[in-house]
Amino acid sequence: MERNRIHSKIALIFKQEIFNLKVSFQQSYCQRKLSMMSSQALTFSTLSSDAASVIDIKPVDTLLSSTPLNASSVYVEFLAFPINPQDLLAIAGKYPVKPVYTTPDGSKIAGNDGVAVVKRVGESVMTLREGDTVLPKRHGLGTWRTSGVFPADSLVRIPSGVDPVAAGLLKMGFAPAYLLLEDLVKLRPGSWIVINAALGVIPQMACQFARLRGCHVVAVIRARDDIQQARDILRANGADIVVTEEELEAHGSEADPALAIVAKENRVMLALDAVFGPRAEHLARLLGAGGTFVNYGSLGGSDGVLQLTQELLFWKQITFRNFRLSQQLSSRSDVEVERLMAWFVDLLAQGQLRTPSVEILRWSKDDVNEMTRKVHGVLDSAAKKSIGTKKTVIVL
């Protein structure tokens, strides 16, 4: 009798365990299906300079494609988005533009740039229609996501059919490169430009736009094992002279025979600096009289200091300026910005511009944990700024 009761109790426990396993499996399956059906986003709830430690993938809104739209909004699905330095600064709380959108649990949706396709439009939207390819007009919209709903007036249309990787670089890669040459100094065919961090997306594009203008480029990079490959990439983009920071520090303009001649003849009229600090001083010293030094980034750290000499200020009368993309774009109408992006696309189609070399990460909804691991790896590499690290574009 006692043995029967024990057997019955064991059988009951076993049945309960089987039931719990079924429930657990069903919950896991439902959560996975919900994640795959929902819009996913890269989010953060804590500010940190170590983005990889705080970024997580979370569902945003379930079945957004079937929910009613505000009359002035559009529903879009993202095709690609890049990982930019400004994104990391925003996650660290060191960028002036804060994320606008949050997930249901209050986490902020990261990302300032990306390319998307319009799937539905609100009844009062006249500027966009289904099938249009769009970019964000301003920062803070939370573009690191698979889909979302945005006000129509927060997006700008570009020609459809553009490669997603190229399209994802138009606003914060192509545009700043072009405007750095267009807005801040009057360049003429034959003018010389010096630019550091030259394997970055903006410098690669600046080399190409300079070539289209008939200008010449001195490209400065950090010393590396694959130096010849780096030189080949930059020369293919239009650079005439490629030197390392270490060579400039040790030899100045004598780092390259052709550079020595150009500098002696005071022909370098524009320096484009993405690093700041002591390394930027090497660029300033190459400028000829009346030249212009423009800083547009702080890869060397936000606390960098650039020392000015009497030669630069008094004898050469170098002009020092900063560049902000949002400021330059805001001086143009929406129509002008749209036409500018369309021109970039046309130049790509003609083969006069080419997409700079980047790393591509394919997005997968099937395994959130694995995708999170890959994203963390990308963010960790971007934060370390190791030699040879390329910008990553996530393609959906």
Buried b (16+ CB within 10 A) or exposed e, 189-220: eebbbbbbbbbbbbbbbbbbbbbebebbbbbb
Dist CA 21 CA 131 (whole Å): 45
Sign for the pseudo-dihedral over CA of 176, 336, 192, 278: negative
Backbone phi and psi for residue 287, each to the nearest 5 degrees, phi listed first: -70, 145
Residue pair 299/382 in contact by the 8 Å Cβ criterion: no
Look-up: residue for tokens 């080419």? 354
* Mutual angle of helices 175-182 and 334-350, in 10-degree steps: 110
Q: How far apart are the first and last CA of the chain?
A: 64
Dist CA 359 CA 396 (whole Å): 14
296 is catalytic: no
Residue pair 63/37 in contact by the 8 Å Cβ criterion: yes
Sign for the pseudo-dihedral over CA of 10, 13, 15, 21: negative
> Count of CB atoms within 10 A of residue 319's CB?
15
Buried b (16+ CB within 10 A) or exposed e, 114-152: bbbbbebbbeebeebeeebbbbbbebbbbbbbbbbbbeb
What 3-state class would DSSP assign to 217? strand
Dist CA 198 CA 217 (whole Å): 10
329 sits in which H/E element: helix 325-330
**What is the DSSP secondary structure assignment for residue 351, as one 8-state letter?**
T
Give me the catalytic one of 29, 75, 95, 101.
Answer: 95
Dist CA 327 CA 321 (whole Å): 13
Dist CA 41 CA 56 (whole Å): 8
* Rg of the chain in Å (alpha carbons): 26
What 3-state class would DSSP assign to 167? helix
Active site residue ranges: 95
